[in-house]
Structure 1
Amino acid sequence: MGKRVWDWDHNLKVRLAGEALYNMLFWMYFPFITVYFSEALGSGTAGIMMSLPPVFSMFGSLLGGMLTDRWGRRPVMLLGASVQTVMFACFAVSPSPWMDYAAFIGLGLGGAVYRPASSAMVADLVPAEQLRQVFATFMTANNVGAVLGPALGSFLFFHYRQELLWTCTLVLLLYLLAIYFMVKETMPHAAEGPKEPAAISRKVLEQWRGYGFIFRDKIFLVYLMAGIFALVPIMQLDLYLPVYVIHHVPAQTLLAWNGASLTLSGTDIFGWLVGFNGLLFVLFILPVTRWFAKWRERNVFILSSLLSGFGTFFVGLHTNIWYLFAVTVIFTFGEMVRSPAAQSFISRYAPAHARGQYLGADSLQNTVGKFLAPMTVVLSGWLPPLAIFTVILGFALVSIGLYFQLFRLYGEKQAAVAGA
């Protein structure tokens, strides 16, 4: 398979187009959903409500991974896309915020079921040495939506919500039909499992027991722990950084010309930093992935934790807007180098017969990270900003130690296999 998109397998090209369009629509409503629930039900209630979706997503990912190894990739992708299509329609016709919330939970659940099958299909089709490049291309398409979506959604979500949600429903329906008619199954024959008849309950129990085996895999557990600690600094862009920038960075002039100037408040500055972060992803994720293609995954993970940890820590050292743009480059590159390597590592490490389950369990990094990362906002009520940024840096340093341990164990396992 060539590295260029037009040389990809047909399955991947269909999915790249469909997922890119869907992600743009996703970013038109997702950033504003908390604001919507806060206005409709109160900020306290909204805060509690928004802490629950990661739990549903965790179970959705584990279920999606289990079904991916039992049913195959294509049926689970169809199931996840179908759930999302129905939930968008429910969201569009909803008469109350509580039904909106139920639909929002359903959207997250459908997406969580879909993702392990989607990643497993990539791993089925792409040679190991090209996985980083392919995953980086999917990330680029997704981040185009993350840059353009919020700008459009800030108007459409609040003024034409029903029309936006019906558009999302139609796009998901068309993508569902594209999967059904154009995407072929890719699950290796070795992963298809036995064909003898058995009770559905017994089959499900066998699959859940498979997760018990996965969580006894010491290498995988260390990988999960390292990823959780590495993600806490990366997630601060949506958590502590807005709190810090909005409350501690003074209004200042971005540009001045001919006696006129563009002055930004703390809120404006944070918006610019988020947009700059997304733009860097769109422009550089593919080149960065190529630059580090020859690097060992251990070194990529360690470099990522160093850049994201120290880059986020540096935010607390000065409030000049151009300085903040500079450190945004540092912590954004930390996230950028990590993501394709993480996806390629677990796709390659997981055995073919349990690839879906490993990819489903891999989502626990994000789930647990989302529970731990908000502690910085809680601690900010008692600690000064520099102390919070030091705690964030501490998470990154712990992840580096765990990555050294991970690849020591992984190297020993490979040596044992080679010597057997």
Structure 2
Amino acid sequence: MAVITGKQRLPSQFWVLWAATLVNRAGGFVIIFLTIYLTTQRGFSASTAGLVVGLYGVGGAVGVTVGGHLTDHWGRRPAALLSLGSSSVLMLALGLARGPVEIITAAVLLGAAAEAARPPLGAMIADIVPTELRMRAFSTYYWAINLGFAVSAALAGFAAQAGYFTLFAADAATTAAAALLIAWRIRETRPAAAPHEEEHERGGLRAVLHDRVFLGFVACNLLVALVLLQHMSMLPLAMIDDGLSSQTFGLVIALNGVLIVAGQMGVTRLLSTRRPAYVMPVSAVIMGVGFGLTAFAHTPLLYAGTVLVWTVGEMLNAPSNSALLAGLSPVRMRGRYQGFFGLSWQVASFLAPTLGGLVRENRHLGNTGLWLGCLGAALVAAVWSLSAARAREHRVAALTERELAKIEL
């Protein structure tokens, strides 16, 4: 990996995407508090609330697939604008929904619209940022996501006191603002393809499904995501079981964003000389230990301690994961590769709350079984990632050499 000097600057269009993401995430109240909203305001059981959040993930699975296709065939910019614009409208629809059918329908549609933004935004960054700056770019972008998350998590509990619809309205407004910023300042970034390349790419999805190295990478991420997403679904319910308030949960989980905001740039410097394929198994172990320790947490201080541990793992994982994803994705099929990778998050969005709710309500397992199970899943992912690291690095090197050869021609 090339050494990055302080004189090298990230492109201006990257900073527009950074700002749009920060605005959007700073108002991302709804998903953080959705399980609490459904159980306390709409009378859903924990397992039913988990199912609704899971169905949001089902919608997201459709969204990233369609979004990936549109990203490559229609363009990065229009795909992103369609996703953000429709998400803003559907956020309000979910806030206004009252019956179970209406809530489930709105959640599925919102999941599809919101998650369709992942492929175009990821492809834009890969298009805009040179290879040698990607680790810094993804770390900085991840920093913006978590700065926004810290703000939204800290404010959401207090905003909910004015009425839960306030959360939906604020989320819709910030999503619309992000769309307007991209529409105003971002030009299309999709590289023009030669005719023979366009013909070859008609079988793009089939090529993804035959890419064993990439599929293994996606499967490992699924295991990690199943663990990490428990902080959005089962962690708030575990804290409520211990007699803690939603405001306390908001402050404790905000520590995740605060730690990332405070430390991610230092982690970026650390990772600039590390190989992403070998950072990922280390990060999985640390995340697993953090969630495993949650089994023994019953006070705000102890919960905060567990958040501290798994956040360190997340800080190592996210930029390494994104940089490796960019390296494993052929340039002309970035949208489809980004979309297929996004499926692992959407499948986890369904399975994490659904399985988490079932395990939590099992009288033989409960919260303790859930958190220790998270530790086990993370350790499996770590071993798998370590065994596949060499093959992943070989694939990145081969794709990079191929693209350089095209440029020289």
- Give the TM-score range, shorter chain: 0.7 to 0.9
From 293, 300, 309, the counterpart of 1:330: 309
SS of 1:42's partner is coil
Contact (CA 8 Å) 1:69, 1:192: kept in 2 or not? Answer: no
Aligned counterpart, 2:77: 74
Q: Which moved more, 1:97-106 or 1:116-125?
A: 97-106
2:136 is the counterpart of 1:133 = yes
User: How many Å apart are 1:26 and its aligned residue?
Assistant: 1.8
Aligned counterpart, 2:288: 309
Aligned counterpart, 2:392: 410
2:22 is the counterpart of 1:20 = yes
* 1:9-408 correspondence runs (5 A): 9-27=11-29, 29-38=30-39, 39-40=41-42, 42-43=44-45, 45-88=48-91, 90=93, 99=102, 102-157=105-160, 159=162, 165-166=168-169, 168-190=171-193, 209-247=203-241, 265=244, 270-317=249-296, 322=301, 324-374=303-353, 375-380=355-360, 381=362, 382-383=364-365, 387-408=369-390
Distance 1:144 1:193, change over 3 A: farther
User: How many Å apart are 1:351 and its aligned residue?
Assistant: 0.4
User: How many Å apart are 1:120 and its aligned residue?
Assistant: 0.2
Contact (CA 8 Å) 2:289, 2:310: kept in 1 or not? Answer: yes
Distance 1:194 1:399, change over 3 A: closer
TM-score, length-scaled by structure 1? 0.80
State the alpha-carbon separation in 2 of the partners of residues 116 and 155 from structure 1: 33
Which residues of structure 2 form unaligned runs of 5+? none
Distance 1:163 1:329, change over 3 A: closer
Contact (CA 8 Å) 2:26, 2:174: kept in 1 or not? Answer: no
State the alpha-carbon separation in 2 of the partners of residues 153 and 414 from structure 1: 41
Contact (CA 8 Å) 1:132, 1:289: kept in 2 or not? Answer: yes
State the alpha-carbon separation in 1 of the partners of residues 170 and 130 from structure 2: 36
Distance 1:192 1:116, change over 3 A: farther
User: How many Å apart are 1:195 and its aligned residue?
Assistant: 7.8
SS of 2:256's partner is helix
Amino acid at match of 1:220: F
Q: Which moved more, 1:169-178 or 1:292-301?
A: 169-178
**Which whole-Å deviations, capped at 9, do the CAs of 1:236-273 have from their partners, x for residues lacking one?**
323444455554x6x8xxxxxxxxxxxxx587765543
State the alpha-carbon separation in 1 of the partners of residues 37 and 306 from structure 2: 31
Distance 1:4 1:13, change over 3 A: farther
Higher-Rg structure is 1
User: How many Å apart are 1:51 and its aligned residue?
Assistant: 2.3
**Which whole-Å deviations, capped at 9, do the CAs of 1:249-305 have from their partners, x for residues lacking one?**
6x8xxxxxxxxxxxxx58776554323222212211222122122111122101101
Distance 1:162 1:230, change over 3 A: closer
Distance 1:48 1:316, change over 3 A: closer
User: How many Å apart are 1:395 and its aligned residue?
Assistant: 1.0
State the alpha-carbon separation in 2 of the partners of residues 326 and 168 from structure 1: 29
User: How many Å apart are 1:156 and its aligned residue?
Assistant: 3.3
State the alpha-carbon separation in 1 of the partners of residues 98 and 220 from structure 2: 44
SS of 1:50's partner is helix
Distance 1:353 1:372, change over 3 A: same
State the alpha-carbon separation in 2 of the partners of residues 179 and 349 from structure 1: 26
State the alpha-carbon separation in 2 of the partners of residues 193 and 75 from structure 1: 24
User: How many Å apart are 1:60 and its aligned residue?
Assistant: 0.6
**Which whole-Å deviations, capped at 9, do the CAs of 1:64-113 have from their partners, x for residues lacking one?**
11111111211111221221233245457768775565444333222222
**Which whole-Å deviations, capped at 9, do the CAs of 1:325-364 have from their partners, x for residues lacking one?**
4443221101111011111111121001100000000012
User: How many Å apart are 1:386 and its aligned residue?
Assistant: 5.1
State the alpha-carbon separation in 2 of the partners of residues 142 and 415 from structure 1: 29
State the alpha-carbon separation in 1 of the partners of residues 123 and 332 from structure 2: 11
Q: Which moved more, 1:295-304 or 1:39-48?
A: 39-48
User: How many Å apart are 1:307 and its aligned residue?
Assistant: 0.6
Aligned counterpart, 1:256: none
Distance 1:350 1:393, change over 3 A: same
**Which whole-Å deviations, capped at 9, do the CAs of 1:164-194 have from their partners, x for residues lacking one?**
6555555444443332332111111237877
Q: Which moved more, 1:293-302 or 1:36-45?
A: 36-45
Amino acid at match of 1:292: L
Contact (CA 8 Å) 2:359, 2:367: kept in 1 or not? Answer: no
Q: Which runs of 4+ in 1 moved over 6 A?
A: 2-6, 92-97, 191-196, 266-269, 414-420
Identity of aligned residues (%): 26
Aligned-residue RMSD, C-alpha: 3.6
Amino acid at match of 1:401: V
Q: How many residues align?
A: 394
